[in-house]
Amino acid sequence: MNDSSYPPPPPSTIPASYPPPVANYAPPAIPTSTTTMHAIRQAVGQVFVGQEEVVHQVLAALLAGGHVLLEGKPGLGKTHLVLALAGTFGGNFRRIQFTPDLMPSDVTGHTLFDLGSQTFRVRRGPVFANLLLADEINRAPAKTQSALLEVMQEAQVTIDGESHALQPPFMTFATQNPIEQEGTYPLPEAQLDRFLLKVLIDYPESQHEAWIVKAVASKPGGTGLSAADVPQVCTPQDILNAQTEAASIQAVESVVDYAVNLVRATRQQSAISLGAGTRGAISLVRVAKSYALLEGRGYITPGDVKRAVLPVLRHRVQLSPEIAITGQTVDDMLNAVLRTVEAPRA
């Protein structure tokens, strides 16, 4: 390549006009989409009770346009949450139950011959949706799991050599059952890294659990707290507008450096055998911007980055074997990293 601009200049030669001079600084505007996201939160909260942080993380992923890996024991409402979220903006919801005999074409779709028209036509798979729930994704073999890679990364599907774009907004929610490992296929690191967040759903508090039991059992067939009862409070276009606004949230250099330092620290921890890559730092800033919008701020803070560390990085790092056998968790090590990296004060 003869272009003198390639490769890009090292940081020491970046023009002095970057970052912009203080004289050109304008206070970041308050996001207008915050009200929309609060309405979505309230609508989801009508049927998904007692999991405020889970809902906060899922809304952050929606704003960032990322995918979510949901992990929790059976019966905690993982499917219920995704159904409720789709209802709030009138999104198209599809579900795939992953099994060992599931084929890639069952996910993406295939072509078939139409006897009536004597032509081949495309039969689109369930990935053509706004919200896709890949239930128990680790029960399908690697070949089928990899069928989601292009979809998650590029928001398009290739069927018999022809690419088909998905209708935005598009998110994949994949669930894993942490207690049943027999007959499962662990997700490879390349696919895990495609998920923006790994969200853990735990048991609700006792008072919330009692309220849920009473509400669900109050209708025939246990149909209380149905996701079908969630009101639509906005449109898919409103979600796209909110995503655009979230991306424009201001991220000052010192806070971006803090996110990068946190990720680099995971590579220097002796207890961590595989640290997070650059995509981890990018994801920290993306989610921090979403958190800022949800709080009604036009800028991110070190606190936003700290809050994002566990859901963003817990699936991107691996513990060394000698640490794993002691019973310590990835979250324990990430909290240790947080304690060792100094946050900017201004």
Structure tokens at 194: 């495609």
- State how far the alpha carbon of 17 is from the alpha carbons of 23, 249, 321, 346, in Å: 11, 20, 47, 21
Residues 134 and 171: beta-carbon distance below 8 Å: no
How far apart CA 121 and CA 156 sit, in angstroms, is: 18
As a whole number of angstroms, the longest Cα–Cα distance in the chain is 73
- CB contact set of 12 (below 8 Å; sequence gap of 6+): none
Record the pTM: 0.86
What is the share, in percent, of the chain residues with pLDDT greater than 70? Answer: 89
How far apart CA 137 and CA 54 sit, in angstroms, is: 20
Least confident of 6-15, 35-44, 211-220, 326-335: 6-15
Arithmetic mean of pLDDT, 302-310? 97
Listed residue (281, 289, 290, 278) closest to 309, CA to CA: 281
Per-residue pLDDT tens over the stretch 185-237? 777 787 888 899 999 999 999 999 999 999 889 888 877 788 888 999 999 99
Looking at 277-324, which runs of residues are DSSP E strands? Answer: 318-319
Mean pLDDT of the chain: 86
Residues 298 and 29: beta-carbon distance below 8 Å: yes
Structure tokens at 254: 């010192």
Read off the amino acid at residue 83.
Answer: L
Q: How many Cα neighbours within 13 Å face the side chain of 264? A: 8
DSSP state of 27: P
- State how far the alpha carbon of 36 is from the alpha carbons of 6, 66, 68, in Å: 43, 18, 21
Residue 84 neighbours by CB distance under 10 Å:
26
pLDDT at site 221: 81
Residues 30 and 298: beta-carbon distance below 8 Å: yes
Residues 230 and 84: beta-carbon distance below 8 Å: yes
How far apart CA 228 and CA 83 sit, in angstroms, is: 8
Domains and CATH numbers, the chain: 28-247 (3.40.50.300), 249-346 (1.10.8.80)
Residues 86 and 92: beta-carbon distance below 8 Å: yes
